[in-house]
């Protein structure tokens, strides 16, 4: 009852009670640690399988392929100034986790004629970890 009264009193001035702010801060910290733990393997896999040609961090140039920062929600083949294959430009779908998973599994089947020199990744768990890592850079 006293906690409820304290919440009501502190809520009267429009401020969030400090106990609630602490809970929000704790939740944010747990989310950050969890995301880091989940994506540490994904980051390693990305760097090993994709990072030779692509960057994922915003503002970093890619070596060979297009940058993949903020790739989800963007149309395939749409970065201005990158020389995409006609096949990738024609594919043009908005990248989602689902179609990225399909692409990483069998790139030449999803987008026949694309120029990516990557045969595909058959391991579904590895694809999922890579995609989770890429989603951090939405």
Rounded CA-CA distance 132/46 in Å is 10
Whether residue 22 has pLDDT greater than 60: yes
The SS3 of residue 62 is coil
pLDDT (0 to 100) of residue 21? 66
Query: Which of the four pLDDT bands, split at 50, 70 and 90, describes residue 38?
Result: low
Mind listing the pLDDT tens digit for each residue in 59-115? 998 989 999 999 999 999 999 989 999 999 999 999 999 999 999 999 999 999 999
User: What is the pTM assigned to this prediction?
Assistant: 0.72
Q: Please answer whether residues 135 and 97 qualify as being in contact, where contact means their C-beta atoms are separated by less than 8 angstroms.
A: yes
User: Domain locations in the chain?
Assistant: 22-135
Rounded CA-CA distance 73/87 in Å is 19
Domain 22-135 coded CATH 1.10.760.10? yes
Q: Please answer whether residues 68 and 55 qualify as being in contact, where contact means their C-beta atoms are separated by less than 8 angstroms.
A: yes
46 forms beta bridges with: none
């Amino acid at each position: 009852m006293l906690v409820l009264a304290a919440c009501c009193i502190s809520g009267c001035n429009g401020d969030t009670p400090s106990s609630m702010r602490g809970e929000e801060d704790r939740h944010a910290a747990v989310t950050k640690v969890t995301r880091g733990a989940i994506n540490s393997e994904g980051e390693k896999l990305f760097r090993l399988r994709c990072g030779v040609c692509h960057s994922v961090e915003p503002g970093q140039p890619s070596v060979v392929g297009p940058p993949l920062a903020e790739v989800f929600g963007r149309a395939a083949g749409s970065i201005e100034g990158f020389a995409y294959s006609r096949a990738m430009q024609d594919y043009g779908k908005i990248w989602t986790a689902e179609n990225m998973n399909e692409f990483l599994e069998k790139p030449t089947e999803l987008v026949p004629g694309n120029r990516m020199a990557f045969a595909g990744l058959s391991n579904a768990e590895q694809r999922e970890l890579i995609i989770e890592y890429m989603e951090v850079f939405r």
